[in-house]
Amino acid sequence: MPVTVLLVDDEPLVRAGLRAVLEAQPDIEVVGEAADGAAVIPLVRRLRPDVVAMDVRMPLLDGIEATRALLRTVDAPPKILVVTTFENDEYVYGALRAGADGFLLKRARPAEIVHAVRLVAEGESLLFPASVRRLAAEYGEEGGNRAARAVLERARLTEREGEVLRLMARGLTNAEIAARLVVGTETVKSHVSAVLAKLGARDRTQAVIAAYESGFVAPG
Amino acid sequence: MPVTVLLVDDEPLVRAGLRAVLEAQPDIEVVGEAADGAAVIPLVRRLRPDVVAMDVRMPLLDGIEATRALLRTVDAPPKILVVTTFENDEYVYGALRAGADGFLLKRARPAEIVHAVRLVAEGESLLFPASVRRLAAEYGEEGGNRAARAVLERARLTEREGEVLRLMARGLTNAEIAARLVVGTETVKSHVSAVLAKLGARDRTQAVIAAYESGFVAPG
DNA sequence: GACCCGCTCCCCCGCGCGGGGGAGGCGGGT
DNA sequence: ACCCGCCTCCCCCGCGCGGGGGAGCGGGTC
């Protein structure tokens, strides 16, 4: 049985492109399209797709709200793949926080798009696509922490949030981080929440994974 | 002010060796020695060392019990560095679980020993020394998961525990892991607890860090 | 047969974590 | 003067996590 996909994007051109790429696969079937977030829920109820490829910026109901509504009102909801133009879109992080399973850049190569759909359909999350992982490599070994800085910028982490993430990635608890930074635990909690939101992580474990996968911290 | 160290080992030779290595450093001072775990607590109360270098296998009171007792009865307890002969010693994991801050191989080079003492004195934990981290490199890139298998063996993780750790390192919750493995959440909790104990990790975040640091899972 | 071990599932319990709010100070930018 | 981003701290709340037990079962060893 093929993977069924519902396309949600306000630009017909993008929908057509995604459809062309996905329909070229024998095991992927596009079962419907929607032009805005408001139309998604009834369509999902009727078509029951495995995956919804959802734009973030849309009229009426944006991708974040649509994702939230979908997960709240539909039982056995489909996997949600957030489609965006910018790697740096805060809306993406909002959508991931709302429960989306991964994100996908519009300028990704067809093979990557297909791969992303298959992955989320299998239940994998795709928070840190290859493009992000390659950062460290791009900057080279001798870049020192230039790659880390780049990731910082992409995720728009503040300096303090970066410090907190680094300590999280050393296995410290909030209380220990607070002691280390000589601030209150509530302050650390604020920073941690900000880091989770910006990285699209659900908990500190996923944030640490993100730190390793992005090259923000390196093993050894 | 120098880092003060208390040596606890039943073998005088080992104590002498550690003392020679550490005293060679201007910023490290060995303030006392003990031959078994039972003598540790009163000595710590009197000498108030920054670091206790503690053997695991000792008569009367072993390193695990001594660590536990120390942390329970002494306020502002010193950092505890577990000293062992075998990388594979389950006692080590027990000691780490009991609250020790790091472990150290007796066959480590002097520079490594000094480094370890300074690190734990600064409040860093040292769960995964360089010797373990180098595993992946030893086995080479084309080793595939041979390095991972080696780590598995060293930590004595069972096959199932290895699967669970791998899923933890993908950011899954216990419930999600349970669904993936088609078992109950209580079962997963058992495996997770076993993994934490064997890796000397305090929580799943530290376990994931261990997985990355040891090469059990690799970024990218 | 007795034994150990790995996998499975169950109980109770405390606590750290993370969500969702808000709020004040402080420096920089227009 | 104004706003805004950052850092700091506070509240309440639910839940997942991890610790501490125990227990049954199959498969291997001795």
**Domains along chain A?**
3-126 (3.40.50.2300), 143-214 (1.10.10.10)
pLDDT greater at residue A42 or residue B86: A42
B positions 70-129 inside 8 Å of A (CB): 123-125, 127
Strand extents, DSSP E, chain B? 3-8, 28-34, 51-55, 79-84, 102-105
Tell which A residues from 162 to 181 touch B, by Cβ distance under 8 Å.
168-171, 173, 180
Per residue in A143-172, pLDDT (tens digit) is 333 444 444 445 568 889 989 999 999 888
In three-state secondary structure terms, A67 is helix
Residue B146's pLDDT is what?
Answer: 43
* pLDDT score for B98: 66
A41: pLDDT confidence band, cut at 50, 70 and 90? confident
For residue A213, list chain B residues with Cβ-Cβ distance below 8 A.
219-220
Distance, CA of A59 to C1' of D18, in Å:
45
What confidence tier does B12 reach under pLDDT thresholds 50, 70, 90? confident
- Among A68-72, A106-110, A190-194, B73-77, whose mean pLDDT is lowest? A106-110
Predicted confidence (pLDDT) at residue B105 exceeds the cutoff of 80: no
pLDDT digits (tens, 9 = 90+) for B116-163: 888 778 765 555 544 343 433 444 333 334 444 444 445 568 889 989
As a whole number, mean pLDDT of residues A196-211 equals 85
> What integer pLDDT is reported at residue A129 of this predicted model?
44
Nucleotide nearest to A193 (CA to C1'): C18
Q: If you measure CA to C1', which residue is closest to nucleotide D11?
A: A186
The alpha-helical segments, DSSP class H, found in chain A are 12-23, 40-47, 63-73, 90-98, 110-121, 130-139, 146-155, 159-168, 174-181, 185-199, 204-214
Using C1' positions and the CA of A189, the closest nucleotide is C18
A184-193 pLDDT, tens digit per residue, is 999 999 999 9
Which chain C nucleotides are covered by protein, judged by CB under 7 A? 5-11, 16-23
Q: CA-to-CA distance for A46 and A40, rounded, in angstroms?
A: 10
Residues in contact with strand C, defined as Cβ under 7 Å from any of its atoms:
A 97, 173-175, 189-190, 192-193, 196-197, 202-205; B 156, 158-161, 178, 181, 183-184, 186-187, 189-191
Contact B171 A202 (CB under 8 A): yes
Give the one of B134, B171, B218 whose C-beta lies nearest to A205's C-beta.
B171
Which chain D positions come under 7 Å from a protein C-beta? 5-11, 16-23
| pLDDT, position B92 | 57
Token code pair at residue B107? 């066959």
Q: Are A114 and A135 in contact (CB under 8 A)?
A: no
**What tens digit of pLDDT does each residue of A5-24 get?**
999 988 777 888 888 889 88
On whether any CB of chain A is under 8 Å from the CB of B212, the answer is yes
- C1' of nucleotide D5: residue with nearest CA: A158
User: For residue B143, what pLDDT is reported?
Assistant: 36
Residue A95 burial (10 A CB sphere; 0-12, 13-18, 19+): buried
Q: Inter-chain contact B208–A208, Cβ cutoff 8 Å? A: yes
pLDDT for A92 equals: 57
